[in-house]
Every structure is written in structure tokens, then in C-alpha cells.
Amino acid sequence: MRKVGIIGLGHVGATLAYTLVTENVVDELVLIDKDEKRAISEEYDLLDAQVFLTGKTKIIIQDYQALKDASVIVFCAGQISALGDDGDRFKELEITSKIVEETAPKIKQSGFDGIIITITNPCDVIAAYMQKQTGFETTKVFGTGTMLDTARMQQAVSRNVSIDSRNVGGYVYGEHGDSQFVAWSTVTIGDRPLLTWDSELDLNQLDEAVRAGGWNAFAGKGYTSYGIATCGARLIRMILNDAKTIVPVSAYDDQMDSYYGQPVVIGKNGIESFISCPLTEKEQNSLKESVQIIKDGLANLPFKQ
């Protein structure tokens, strides 16, 4: 049985739930939110939608015990209004860390032993904190990380070279935040390194375009939802189908003792293996700086177990 739980039914959680139902990704969907009226409304809205769909998804709300036999939990609870006008994800940490502290014991008590994907901001710190609070293996707790940022990189490159973004490879590394960076040494179009395709590209300008992509999606409505919910849905499919697909997510690297965005193989066990890409010296230094920001954010949180 394909069963998934979503904790937090704001813009992202609700969009993810809608995506999973309309695309018939799951057989059962457990929806949990601190606002019970919201959960009830989402349940009825999704049931209405199913009248016109070919698939059927059983909806269960506000029941942590129903998570026991779920394969995946997606944690996307938060308070997007805390980000303010500049979109600084760390402004949410005081709120979201407390939600983790409240939620993790309930997840453990339910008997759940599947995979936890975190979307909540700041993504890398919350992934690490959720792992610490649950005590689950690091391979079974990871964040969406730089998956969305990598998609924004593909879009930026695509616009500049007039090639479909799905032909662009490579990864954004580090924090899902201001210190992220494109590892240009990994970026390809088809099977060719980017700079052999167009040596005149301004990589600094492209880097800014990647960051601007997120801001452009956020600025006019105060949140983003479609892109990140699609990332969540794709990761769920990878796990349910044991796809063994390479994507950049926020995963724990024992050598750096930190979660951060990096390419890994995703399958039924969560993170199946890591993909080691040779980074340039400049990229390695950027990674160290980005990881330190994540570590500093986690260091300020109390560890309760």
C-alpha cells in the first residue's frame, strides 16, 4: 500500500496533498495540521476533487497513529509570514524548531519507521534537528535542500542558451538559502560541459539569476508552493518506486558532520548512496562557508531527546 503523511497544511502542504491526490501517487494520505478546521477543509476539498478523478485516495486527518504504516512523512509545518519582506529563511527557525520539538515525539510514538522528508525553513537546519529529535538514521531523514535551487539553475541556464531546461545537468550545493552556490564544474548541457557550449557566459550573472528565481516566485505573493511541492511529490515517487534516482537534497555528510545540499541516490531506503563530484578549490571553499552557516544555526538550538 502506498501511504504518505503530510504534517503542516499551509501553502506547500496543501499543494503537495493536491498533487499526490490528482496524480494518484498514493492510496492513503494522512493530513495533520495544528489547525483542525484547516485539516477538515482540506479533506473535504480533496474529496470533492476526487469525484472527477480516475484514481481514489483515502484521506485520514489529525491522526498521528495512522502514520505507523506510512512509507513517507513530509514535514512542511511553519509560519511563512515570519520570513518578512527579504525572504530570510532563518527568521522562521525560532518557530519551526519548536514545532519539530512538539512533532518528533508524536512521530516516534506512532511507531512510524519510514522516511522523513523535511521542507520546513530553514531546510538544512530543520532536517538536522528532526533527525536529532527522532533519533532516526540519517539516511532516513533528509530535506528537499537544493533540489529546487538546482531546478532554478537549470531554468537560468536554459534561458541563456535557448535549450530546454531538462537538458541541463549539474547541481547547486550547500544551504538552501543565501549561501548556496552553483557548482559550475558539474553543469552540463546534454553531455557537454557548460563552458564548452558557450564560453562567453557570465557565471556570476547566472548565479544571481538562480537566487533571483526564488525571490521572483516569492516576492509577489509572499510564499512559494508549486515548485517545492513538485519536488516533494517527485521524491515520494522515487521512494515508493525504489527509483534509484540522483537528485540534490539536504543530506548528512559524516565527513563534514552536517546536513547540506548535495547529490545523492534516492530509493526505497531513503538515501541509498552519495554521489561524489570533484569540486574546484573555489567551490570547496564556498561549500565550507555554507556548511558553517548551517552548523551555526543548529548550534543555537537545544537538543531535547
Q: Report the alpha-carbon distance of residue 265 to residue 244 in Å, rounded.
A: 5
Question: Is 1 assigned a catalytic role?
Answer: no
**Which residues contribute to the annotated binding site for NAD(+)?**
8-13, 33, 119-121
Q: Which of 2, 89, 132, 176 is catalytic?
A: 176
Q: Are 227 and 17 in contact (CB under 8 A)?
A: no
Strand order, beta sheet including 141-143 = 58-61, 28-32, 3-7, 72-75, 115-118, 141-143, 245-253, 258-267, 270-274
| DSSP codes joined into one string, 172-223 | EEB-SSTT-EE-GGG-EETTEEHHHH-TT--HHHHHHHHHHHHHHHHHTTT-
Per DSSP, what are the bridge partners of residue 172?
182
State the helix-helix crossing angle for 123-134 and 281-299, rounded to 10 degrees: 50
Q: For residue 247, what are the β-bridge partners? A: 264
Cα end-to-end distance, the chain, whole Å: 31
Residues 6+ apart with CB under 8 A from 199: none
Q: Are strands 245-253 and 258-267 parallel, antiparallel or unpaired?
A: antiparallel
CA 229 to chain centre: 8
Distance separating alpha carbons of residues 147 and 8, to the nearest angstrom: 20
CA 305 to CA 295: how far, in whole Å?
19
- The catalytic site residues sit at 176
